[in-house]
A and B are shown apart, each in its own frame.
Chain A
Protein backbone atom coordinates (compact mmCIF):
# COMPACT_ATOMS: atom_id res chain seq x y z
CA UNK A 1 0.00 0.00 0.00
CA UNK A 2 1.23 3.45 -0.89
CA UNK A 3 0.69 6.09 1.80
CA UNK A 4 -0.37 9.66 1.14
CA UNK A 5 1.99 12.15 2.75
CA UNK A 6 0.84 15.42 4.31
CA UNK A 7 4.02 17.28 5.34
CA UNK A 8 2.28 20.34 6.81
CA UNK A 9 3.54 23.92 6.82
CA UNK A 10 6.39 23.53 9.33
CA UNK A 11 8.10 20.84 7.29
CA UNK A 12 8.17 23.24 4.34
CA UNK A 13 9.75 25.97 6.48
CA UNK A 14 11.40 25.90 9.86
CA UNK A 15 11.56 22.06 10.00
CA UNK A 16 12.89 21.21 6.55
CA UNK A 17 15.29 18.69 8.09
CA UNK A 18 12.37 16.67 9.48
CA UNK A 19 10.86 16.43 5.99
CA UNK A 20 14.23 15.49 4.51
CA UNK A 21 15.05 12.83 7.09
CA UNK A 22 11.54 11.29 7.05
CA UNK A 23 11.64 10.90 3.27
CA UNK A 24 15.10 9.34 3.37
CA UNK A 25 14.28 7.03 6.27
CA UNK A 26 11.10 5.78 4.62
CA UNK A 27 12.89 5.25 1.34
CA UNK A 28 15.59 3.24 3.12
CA UNK A 29 12.94 1.09 4.82
CA UNK A 30 10.99 0.61 1.60
CA UNK A 31 7.81 2.37 2.78
CA UNK A 32 6.24 4.09 -0.19
CA UNK A 33 4.61 7.47 0.26
CA UNK A 34 3.64 10.37 -2.00
CA UNK A 35 2.93 13.97 -1.09
CA UNK A 36 -0.78 14.77 -1.49
CA UNK A 37 -1.31 16.57 -4.83
CA UNK A 38 -3.21 19.38 -3.11
CA UNK A 39 -3.09 20.41 0.50
CA UNK A 40 -3.58 23.50 2.64
CA UNK A 41 -2.71 24.31 6.27
CA UNK A 42 -4.59 22.12 8.79
CA UNK A 43 -5.82 25.28 10.57
CA UNK A 44 -4.14 24.33 13.88
CA UNK A 45 -5.63 26.10 16.89
CA UNK A 46 -6.20 29.37 15.01
CA UNK A 47 -9.06 28.15 12.77
CA UNK A 48 -11.12 26.39 15.48
CA UNK A 49 -10.56 29.35 17.83
CA UNK A 50 -12.08 31.65 15.20
CA UNK A 51 -15.08 29.59 14.14
CA UNK A 52 -16.19 26.03 14.78
CA UNK A 53 -17.15 25.48 11.14
CA UNK A 54 -13.80 26.79 9.87
CA UNK A 55 -12.01 24.61 12.41
CA UNK A 56 -13.74 21.50 11.04
CA UNK A 57 -13.80 22.40 7.35
CA UNK A 58 -10.07 23.19 7.04
CA UNK A 59 -8.65 19.83 8.16
CA UNK A 60 -11.49 17.89 6.53
CA UNK A 61 -10.91 19.63 3.19
CA UNK A 62 -7.47 18.03 3.22
CA UNK A 63 -8.93 14.65 4.09
CA UNK A 64 -11.42 14.95 1.22
CA UNK A 65 -8.51 15.67 -1.14
CA UNK A 66 -6.71 12.57 0.12
CA UNK A 67 -9.79 10.42 -0.55
CA UNK A 68 -10.16 11.95 -3.99
CA UNK A 69 -6.53 11.12 -4.76
CA UNK A 70 -7.21 7.52 -3.71
CA UNK A 71 -5.22 7.20 -0.47
CA UNK A 72 -6.51 4.97 2.31
CA UNK A 73 -3.89 6.11 4.80
CA UNK A 74 -2.19 9.45 5.18
CA UNK A 75 1.08 9.98 7.05
CA UNK A 76 1.24 13.21 9.06
CA UNK A 77 4.64 13.76 10.71
CA UNK A 78 3.49 16.89 12.58
CA UNK A 79 1.56 15.83 15.64
CA UNK A 80 -0.43 19.10 15.70
CA UNK A 81 -1.70 18.50 12.14
CA UNK A 82 -2.29 14.85 13.04
CA UNK A 83 -4.38 15.88 16.04
CA UNK A 84 -6.48 18.41 14.10
CA UNK A 85 -7.27 15.83 11.40
CA UNK A 86 -8.24 13.16 13.89
CA UNK A 87 -10.12 15.57 16.17
CA UNK A 88 -12.22 16.83 13.24
CA UNK A 89 -12.98 13.27 12.13
CA UNK A 90 -13.88 12.35 15.71
CA UNK A 91 -16.15 15.39 16.13
CA UNK A 92 -18.13 14.45 13.02
CA UNK A 93 -18.32 10.88 14.24
CA UNK A 94 -19.81 11.84 17.63
CA UNK A 95 -21.95 14.68 16.22
CA UNK A 96 -23.14 13.38 12.83
CA UNK A 97 -25.55 16.35 12.53
CA UNK A 98 -22.54 18.48 11.58
CA UNK A 99 -21.81 16.30 8.54
CA UNK A 100 -24.01 18.03 5.92
CA UNK A 101 -22.95 21.49 7.07
CA UNK A 102 -19.24 20.71 6.68
CA UNK A 103 -19.80 18.90 3.38
CA UNK A 104 -21.68 21.93 2.02
CA UNK A 105 -18.78 24.33 2.62
CA UNK A 106 -16.11 21.89 1.41
CA UNK A 107 -18.03 21.06 -1.76
CA UNK A 108 -16.71 17.50 -1.76
CA UNK A 109 -18.24 14.34 -0.34
CA UNK A 110 -16.91 13.27 3.04
CA UNK A 111 -17.59 9.60 2.48
CA UNK A 112 -14.63 7.45 3.18
CA UNK A 113 -12.42 8.48 5.99
CA UNK A 114 -8.72 8.08 5.37
CA UNK A 115 -6.86 6.83 8.40
CA UNK A 116 -4.30 9.44 9.42
CA UNK A 117 -1.17 8.06 11.05
CA UNK A 118 1.98 9.41 12.61
CA UNK A 119 5.17 7.91 11.13
CA UNK A 120 5.82 6.41 14.59
CA UNK A 121 2.61 4.41 14.23
CA UNK A 122 3.76 3.03 10.88
CA UNK A 123 7.29 2.11 11.99
CA UNK A 124 6.67 0.88 15.54
CA UNK A 125 4.39 -1.91 14.28
CA UNK A 126 5.88 -5.28 15.25
CA UNK A 127 6.51 -6.33 11.66
CA UNK A 128 9.09 -3.54 11.36
CA UNK A 129 11.24 -4.79 14.24
CA UNK A 130 13.19 -7.26 12.10
CA UNK A 131 13.46 -4.81 9.18
CA UNK A 132 14.88 -2.08 11.40
CA UNK A 133 17.25 -4.37 13.29
CA UNK A 134 18.74 -5.69 10.10
CA UNK A 135 19.01 -2.21 8.50
CA UNK A 136 21.29 -0.88 11.25
CA UNK A 137 24.82 -0.33 9.98
CA UNK A 138 26.07 2.21 12.52
CA UNK A 139 26.69 1.34 16.16
CA UNK A 140 25.04 4.03 18.31
CA UNK A 141 24.87 1.92 21.48
CA UNK A 142 26.77 4.62 23.39
CA UNK A 143 24.03 7.20 22.84
CA UNK A 144 21.74 7.89 25.80
CA UNK A 145 18.55 9.63 24.76
CA UNK A 146 15.13 10.47 26.13
CA UNK A 147 12.09 10.30 23.85
CA UNK A 148 9.91 13.40 24.05
CA UNK A 149 6.41 12.79 22.66
CA UNK A 150 4.75 16.08 23.61
CA UNK A 151 0.99 16.47 23.45
CA UNK A 152 -0.75 14.92 20.52
CA UNK A 153 0.89 11.72 19.38
CA UNK A 154 -1.38 9.77 21.72
CA UNK A 155 -3.43 12.37 23.63
CA UNK A 156 -6.36 12.44 24.06
CA UNK A 157 -6.62 8.67 23.81
CA UNK A 158 -10.27 8.68 22.75
CA UNK A 159 -9.31 10.66 19.63
CA UNK A 160 -5.76 9.53 18.83
CA UNK A 161 -6.16 5.80 19.58
CA UNK A 162 -2.46 5.08 19.43
CA UNK A 163 0.11 4.14 22.07
CA UNK A 164 -0.35 5.08 25.75
CA UNK A 165 -1.42 8.66 26.46
CA UNK A 166 0.44 8.92 29.79
CA UNK A 167 3.46 6.70 29.14
CA UNK A 168 3.96 6.21 25.40
CA UNK A 169 6.53 3.65 24.28
CA UNK A 170 6.53 3.60 20.46
CA UNK A 171 9.52 5.92 19.97
CA UNK A 172 11.49 4.26 22.81
CA UNK A 173 10.88 0.89 21.15
CA UNK A 174 12.09 2.17 17.75
CA UNK A 175 15.27 3.63 19.22
CA UNK A 176 16.02 0.38 21.05
CA UNK A 177 15.52 -1.63 17.85
CA UNK A 178 18.16 0.65 16.34
CA UNK A 179 20.51 -0.10 19.25
CA UNK A 180 20.20 3.29 20.98
CA UNK A 181 19.69 3.62 24.76
CA UNK A 182 16.22 5.12 25.34
CA UNK A 183 16.05 6.20 28.99
CA UNK A 184 12.93 6.33 31.10
CA UNK A 185 12.06 9.86 32.29
CA UNK A 186 9.23 12.03 33.57
CA UNK A 187 8.88 14.58 30.75
CA UNK A 188 7.58 12.37 27.93
CA UNK A 189 4.14 13.92 27.50
CA UNK A 190 4.67 17.40 28.93
CA UNK A 191 3.66 20.40 26.84
CA UNK A 192 6.28 22.63 25.13
CA UNK A 193 3.98 25.67 25.06
CA UNK A 194 3.16 25.34 21.37
CA UNK A 195 2.31 28.60 19.60
CA UNK A 196 3.18 30.68 22.68
CA UNK A 197 6.70 30.73 21.27
CA UNK A 198 5.32 33.41 18.95
CA UNK A 199 2.85 34.96 21.41
CA UNK A 200 4.66 35.11 24.75
CA UNK A 201 8.09 33.47 24.52
CA UNK A 202 8.50 33.67 28.32
CA UNK A 203 5.92 30.88 28.65
CA UNK A 204 7.82 28.58 26.29
CA UNK A 205 11.13 29.40 27.97
CA UNK A 206 9.73 28.33 31.33
CA UNK A 207 8.09 25.13 30.04
CA UNK A 208 11.18 24.28 27.99
CA UNK A 209 13.39 24.62 31.04
CA UNK A 210 11.33 21.98 32.87
CA UNK A 211 11.78 19.61 29.93
CA UNK A 212 15.55 20.14 29.70
CA UNK A 213 15.88 19.76 33.48
CA UNK A 214 13.97 16.46 33.44
CA UNK A 215 16.09 15.18 30.53
CA UNK A 216 19.30 16.17 32.32
CA UNK A 217 18.16 14.53 35.55
CA UNK A 218 17.57 11.29 33.65
CA UNK A 219 21.15 11.40 32.35
CA UNK A 220 20.26 12.05 28.71
CA UNK A 221 22.70 13.35 26.11
CA UNK A 222 19.96 14.19 23.62
CA UNK A 223 16.22 14.73 23.45
CA UNK A 224 14.57 12.87 20.59
CA UNK A 225 11.29 14.30 19.25
CA UNK A 226 8.62 13.49 16.69
CA UNK A 227 6.92 16.87 16.19
CA UNK A 228 8.19 20.05 14.47
CA UNK A 229 6.72 22.33 17.12
CA UNK A 230 8.35 20.42 20.00
CA UNK A 231 11.61 20.64 18.08
CA UNK A 232 11.37 24.35 17.31
CA UNK A 233 10.42 25.28 20.86
CA UNK A 234 13.29 23.32 22.38
CA UNK A 235 16.07 23.78 19.80
CA UNK A 236 15.50 27.48 19.07
CA UNK A 237 14.97 28.46 22.72
CA UNK A 238 17.63 26.33 24.41
CA UNK A 239 20.30 29.06 24.37
CA UNK A 240 17.83 31.63 25.77
CA UNK A 241 16.84 29.21 28.53
CA UNK A 242 20.48 28.66 29.42
CA UNK A 243 21.13 32.40 29.51
CA UNK A 244 18.01 33.24 31.51
CA UNK A 245 18.55 30.58 34.17
CA UNK A 246 22.33 30.76 34.11
CA UNK A 247 22.78 27.08 33.36
CA UNK A 248 24.20 24.89 30.62
CA UNK A 249 22.58 21.94 28.85
CA UNK A 250 24.23 21.92 25.41
CA UNK A 251 21.75 19.17 24.71
CA UNK A 252 20.91 18.52 21.04
CA UNK A 253 17.27 18.02 20.10
CA UNK A 254 16.97 15.45 17.32
CA UNK A 255 14.15 14.06 15.25
CA UNK A 256 13.65 10.32 15.63
CA UNK A 257 13.94 10.12 11.84
CA UNK A 258 17.42 11.66 12.04
CA UNK A 259 18.78 9.24 14.64
CA UNK A 260 17.21 6.20 12.95
CA UNK A 261 18.53 7.44 9.59
CA UNK A 262 21.98 7.86 11.09
CA UNK A 263 21.89 4.32 12.48
CA UNK A 264 20.88 3.05 9.04
CA UNK A 265 23.67 4.82 7.21
CA UNK A 266 21.74 7.69 5.60
CA UNK A 267 24.41 10.34 4.86
CA UNK A 268 24.42 13.69 6.69
CA UNK A 269 23.19 15.43 3.52
CA UNK A 270 19.99 13.39 3.86
CA UNK A 271 19.46 14.13 7.56
CA UNK A 272 20.11 17.85 7.98
CA UNK A 273 21.85 17.91 11.39
CA UNK A 274 23.56 21.16 10.43
CA UNK A 275 20.21 22.96 10.41
CA UNK A 276 19.94 22.83 14.19
CA UNK A 277 20.83 25.75 16.41
CA UNK A 278 22.35 23.37 18.96
CA UNK A 279 24.65 21.43 16.64
CA UNK A 280 24.37 17.72 17.49
CA UNK A 281 27.39 16.64 15.44
CA UNK A 282 30.11 17.10 18.09
CA UNK A 283 28.14 14.95 20.57
CA UNK A 284 27.25 12.35 17.93
CA UNK A 285 30.87 12.22 16.83
CA UNK A 286 31.90 11.00 20.27
CA UNK A 287 29.54 8.04 19.73
CA UNK A 288 30.18 7.03 16.17
CA UNK A 289 32.76 9.21 14.42
CA UNK A 290 30.16 9.78 11.71
CA UNK A 291 31.15 13.32 10.75
CA UNK A 292 34.93 13.22 10.45
CA UNK A 293 36.95 15.04 13.04
Chain B
Protein backbone atom coordinates (compact mmCIF):
# COMPACT_ATOMS: atom_id res chain seq x y z
CA UNK B 1 0.00 0.00 0.00
CA UNK B 2 1.38 3.44 -0.91
CA UNK B 3 1.78 6.18 1.69
CA UNK B 4 -1.15 8.07 0.17
CA UNK B 5 -3.34 4.98 0.43
CA UNK B 6 -2.23 4.32 4.01
CA UNK B 7 -3.22 7.83 5.10
CA UNK B 8 -6.51 7.64 3.22
CA UNK B 9 -7.38 4.27 4.76
CA UNK B 10 -6.61 5.42 8.30
CA UNK B 11 -8.39 8.76 7.99
CA UNK B 12 -11.29 7.79 5.77
CA UNK B 13 -10.46 10.76 3.52
CA UNK B 14 -9.92 11.18 -0.24
CA UNK B 15 -7.07 13.63 -0.73
CA UNK B 16 -7.79 14.10 -4.44
CA UNK B 17 -10.93 16.04 -3.56
CA UNK B 18 -8.65 18.88 -2.43
CA UNK B 19 -8.32 21.67 -5.01
CA UNK B 20 -5.73 23.64 -3.02
CA UNK B 21 -7.86 26.70 -2.20
CA UNK B 22 -5.85 26.95 1.08
CA UNK B 23 -8.85 27.91 3.16
CA UNK B 24 -7.56 25.38 5.71
CA UNK B 25 -4.20 27.16 5.93
CA UNK B 26 -5.75 30.59 6.36
CA UNK B 27 -8.16 29.28 9.04
CA UNK B 28 -5.55 27.39 11.06
CA UNK B 29 -4.71 28.96 14.45
CA UNK B 30 -1.40 27.06 14.53
CA UNK B 31 -0.28 27.92 10.98
CA UNK B 32 2.13 30.59 12.26
CA UNK B 33 4.21 27.89 13.95
CA UNK B 34 3.93 25.23 11.22
CA UNK B 35 6.71 24.48 8.74
CA UNK B 36 4.24 23.12 6.18
CA UNK B 37 0.82 24.81 6.16
CA UNK B 38 -2.24 22.51 6.24
CA UNK B 39 -2.91 22.77 2.47
CA UNK B 40 0.72 21.83 1.85
CA UNK B 41 0.41 18.83 4.16
CA UNK B 42 -2.65 17.67 2.20
CA UNK B 43 -0.82 18.16 -1.10
CA UNK B 44 2.30 16.32 0.07
CA UNK B 45 0.14 13.39 1.18
CA UNK B 46 -1.38 13.33 -2.32
CA UNK B 47 2.12 13.28 -3.84
CA UNK B 48 3.09 10.37 -1.57
CA UNK B 49 5.97 12.27 0.01
CA UNK B 50 6.07 10.21 3.17
CA UNK B 51 9.31 11.52 4.68
CA UNK B 52 8.34 15.16 4.15
CA UNK B 53 4.98 14.67 5.87
CA UNK B 54 6.00 12.38 8.72
CA UNK B 55 9.05 14.48 9.57
CA UNK B 56 7.16 17.77 9.50
CA UNK B 57 6.50 19.81 12.63
CA UNK B 58 3.06 20.69 11.22
CA UNK B 59 1.44 17.33 11.98
CA UNK B 60 2.40 17.76 15.66
CA UNK B 61 1.33 21.40 15.92
CA UNK B 62 -2.21 20.48 14.88
CA UNK B 63 -4.41 20.49 18.02
CA UNK B 64 -7.49 19.22 16.20
CA UNK B 65 -9.56 22.40 16.54
CA UNK B 66 -11.36 21.31 13.35
CA UNK B 67 -11.67 24.80 11.86
CA UNK B 68 -10.19 23.42 8.60
CA UNK B 69 -12.68 20.53 8.59
CA UNK B 70 -15.57 22.91 9.12
CA UNK B 71 -14.53 25.27 6.34
CA UNK B 72 -13.22 22.96 3.59
CA UNK B 73 -15.46 23.54 0.55
CA UNK B 74 -14.62 20.04 -0.71
CA UNK B 75 -15.56 18.18 2.45
CA UNK B 76 -11.98 17.08 3.13
CA UNK B 77 -11.00 16.83 6.81
CA UNK B 78 -7.40 18.05 7.06
CA UNK B 79 -7.42 17.50 10.86
CA UNK B 80 -8.18 13.80 10.25
CA UNK B 81 -5.27 13.62 7.77
CA UNK B 82 -2.95 15.19 10.36
CA UNK B 83 -4.12 12.66 12.94
CA UNK B 84 -3.51 9.73 10.58
CA UNK B 85 -0.01 11.09 9.84
CA UNK B 86 0.74 11.19 13.59
CA UNK B 87 -0.40 7.58 14.00
CA UNK B 88 1.77 6.47 11.06
CA UNK B 89 4.79 8.37 12.42
CA UNK B 90 4.39 6.62 15.81
CA UNK B 91 3.91 3.25 14.12
CA UNK B 92 7.03 3.71 11.95
CA UNK B 93 9.15 4.85 14.86
CA UNK B 94 9.69 8.38 13.52
CA UNK B 95 10.58 10.84 16.27
CA UNK B 96 8.25 13.85 16.26
CA UNK B 97 9.87 17.08 15.12
CA UNK B 98 8.66 18.70 18.36
CA UNK B 99 10.11 16.42 21.06
CA UNK B 100 7.88 17.92 23.79
CA UNK B 101 4.82 16.62 21.96
CA UNK B 102 6.07 13.04 21.93
CA UNK B 103 6.91 13.28 25.62
CA UNK B 104 3.51 14.76 26.40
CA UNK B 105 1.42 12.20 24.47
CA UNK B 106 3.47 9.31 25.86
CA UNK B 107 3.12 10.72 29.37
CA UNK B 108 -0.59 11.20 28.86
CA UNK B 109 -1.22 7.58 27.91
CA UNK B 110 1.06 6.39 30.74
CA UNK B 111 -0.94 8.51 33.17
CA UNK B 112 -4.14 6.88 31.91
CA UNK B 113 -2.59 3.43 32.37
CA UNK B 114 -1.74 4.33 35.94
CA UNK B 115 -4.92 6.07 37.07
CA UNK B 116 -7.52 5.52 34.33
CA UNK B 117 -8.08 9.25 34.47
CA UNK B 118 -5.68 12.11 34.00
CA UNK B 119 -4.08 13.43 37.15
CA UNK B 120 -2.88 16.85 36.01
CA UNK B 121 -0.16 17.37 38.61
CA UNK B 122 1.74 14.15 37.90
CA UNK B 123 1.24 14.49 34.13
CA UNK B 124 2.67 18.00 34.08
CA UNK B 125 5.51 17.17 36.49
CA UNK B 126 6.60 14.11 34.49
CA UNK B 127 6.39 15.76 31.06
CA UNK B 128 8.18 18.87 32.31
CA UNK B 129 10.90 16.74 33.92
CA UNK B 130 11.50 14.70 30.76
CA UNK B 131 11.49 17.82 28.58
CA UNK B 132 14.01 19.46 30.91
CA UNK B 133 11.74 22.38 31.87
CA UNK B 134 10.67 21.14 35.28
CA UNK B 135 10.50 24.55 36.92
CA UNK B 136 8.96 26.55 34.06
CA UNK B 137 5.49 26.81 35.53
CA UNK B 138 6.34 26.47 39.19
CA UNK B 139 4.99 29.92 40.23
CA UNK B 140 1.77 29.13 38.39
CA UNK B 141 1.54 25.71 40.07
CA UNK B 142 1.90 27.33 43.49
CA UNK B 143 -0.92 29.76 42.76
CA UNK B 144 -3.16 26.87 41.68
CA UNK B 145 -2.19 24.87 44.75
CA UNK B 146 -3.10 27.78 47.01
CA UNK B 147 -6.56 27.90 45.47
CA UNK B 148 -7.17 24.18 45.83
CA UNK B 149 -7.09 23.46 42.10
CA UNK B 150 -4.40 20.77 42.27
CA UNK B 151 -5.87 17.56 43.63
CA UNK B 152 -4.40 14.34 44.97
CA UNK B 153 -4.01 11.51 42.45
CA UNK B 154 -6.64 8.77 42.19
CA UNK B 155 -5.69 5.29 43.41
CA UNK B 156 -3.73 3.25 40.84
CA UNK B 157 -6.48 0.59 41.10
CA UNK B 158 -8.70 3.07 39.24
CA UNK B 159 -6.56 2.39 36.19
CA UNK B 160 -7.57 -1.29 35.95
CA UNK B 161 -10.25 -0.77 33.29
CA UNK B 162 -8.04 1.31 31.03
CA UNK B 163 -5.06 -1.04 31.46
CA UNK B 164 -7.27 -3.94 30.35
CA UNK B 165 -8.56 -1.94 27.36
CA UNK B 166 -5.04 -0.86 26.43
CA UNK B 167 -3.83 -4.47 26.57
CA UNK B 168 -6.66 -5.63 24.27
CA UNK B 169 -5.85 -2.86 21.78
CA UNK B 170 -2.17 -3.82 21.73
CA UNK B 171 -2.95 -7.52 21.22
CA UNK B 172 -5.34 -6.71 18.41
CA UNK B 173 -2.90 -4.42 16.65
CA UNK B 174 -0.08 -6.97 16.95
CA UNK B 175 -2.33 -9.61 15.39
CA UNK B 176 -3.18 -7.34 12.47
CA UNK B 177 0.44 -6.60 11.62
Residues on A lying within 8 angstroms of B by beta carbon are 9-10, 12-16, 38-41, 43-55, 57-58, 61, 83, 91, 94-95, 101, 104-107, 151-152, 155-157, 165-166, 189-191, 193-196, 198-201, 203, 206-207, 236, 240, 274-277
Sample of 20 further A-B pairs with CB below 8 A, known A41-B162, A46-B104, A156-B77? A13-B150, A14-B150, A40-B116, A45-B105, A52-B10, A91-B12, A105-B169, A105-B172, A106-B168, A155-B66, A156-B66, A194-B64, A196-B63, A198-B124, A199-B101, A203-B61, A236-B143, A274-B147, A275-B148, A275-B149
Assess the B151–A155 pair: CB atoms within 8 A.
no
Among A9, A13, A206, A207, find the residue whose CB has the most chain B CB atoms closer than 10 A: A13
User: Which residues of the partner chain A approach B123 to less than 8 Å between Cβ atoms?
Assistant: 198
Q: How far is the CA of A44 from the CA of B90 in the complex (A)?
A: 17
Q: Pick the contact of A156 from B33, B70, B91, B148 — CB < 8 Å?
A: B70
Question: Taking chain B's interface residues, is the majority helix, strand, or loop, or is none over half, making it mixed?
Answer: helix
Q: Pick the contact of B120 from A13, A43, A194, A276 — CB < 8 Å?
A: A13
How many B residues face the partner with a CB closer than 8 A?
56
Assess the B117–A9 pair: CB atoms within 8 A.
yes
A-B pairs with beta carbons under 8 Å apart, 23 shown: A13-B118, A40-B117, A41-B112, A47-B109, A48-B83, A51-B90, A51-B173, A52-B84, A52-B87, A53-B172, A55-B83, A57-B168, A58-B162, A94-B12, A104-B168, A106-B168, A191-B63, A193-B29, A195-B104, A198-B124, A200-B100, A207-B29, A275-B148
Q: How far is the CA of A207 from the CA of B116 in the complex (A)?
A: 31
Among B70, B91, B172, find the residue whose CB has the most chain A CB atoms closer than 10 A: B70
Q: How far is the CA of A51 from the CA of B165 in the complex (A)?
A: 13
